[in-house]
Amino acid sequence: MDATLEAIATEAERRFGATIVREPPIVQVLAPEAWWRRWLDLAPAGDWGTPFASLAAAIAAGTGVTVQCVAFEDVQVTYGSAGRPPTLDRIPALRPVRPGETPPIGTAPGEP
């Protein structure tokens, strides 16, 4: 993983001028809160949240890569082209999503 991480960091610095910390990445599954609510309330799927949380923990234990599920308020995404990254029209409030827990969607930092 170290060689891959170095290659990703070097490419990000070259293409976007971004400085990347050379530590195992955090993979975030990002989606609007309404999307997460539809998935979390999908009764025919059964209890998928607990096995999903176990799988994410096993990935972290085996690879050092943390998997996070995150909900955000609706924002406008402008997709990049010609090597430009996508951008958001504002910084969204991010809420942790924890399948298998109650409540499954937490509050954003600074929210009551």
Position 14 in a domain: no
For 8, the enclosing helix (H) or strand (E) is helix 2-16
Q: Is the pLDDT of residue 1 over 60?
A: no
- Give the mean model confidence (pLDDT) for residues 101-107: 83
Backbone torsions φ then ψ of 105, nearest 5 degrees: -115, 120
Q: Which tens digits make up the pLDDT trace of 31-86?
A: 888 888 888 887 777 777 888 889 999 999 998 889 999 998 878 878 877 877 88
Domain count, the chain: 1
Pairwise CA distance, residues 32 & 76, whole Å: 11
Reported pTM = 0.64
Position 4 in a domain: no
Asked if 5 contacts 25 with a C-beta cutoff of 8 angstroms, the reply is yes
Backbone torsions φ then ψ of 84, nearest 5 degrees: -90, 140
Pairwise CA distance, residues 62 & 56, whole Å: 10
- Domain of residue 51: give its range: 23-112
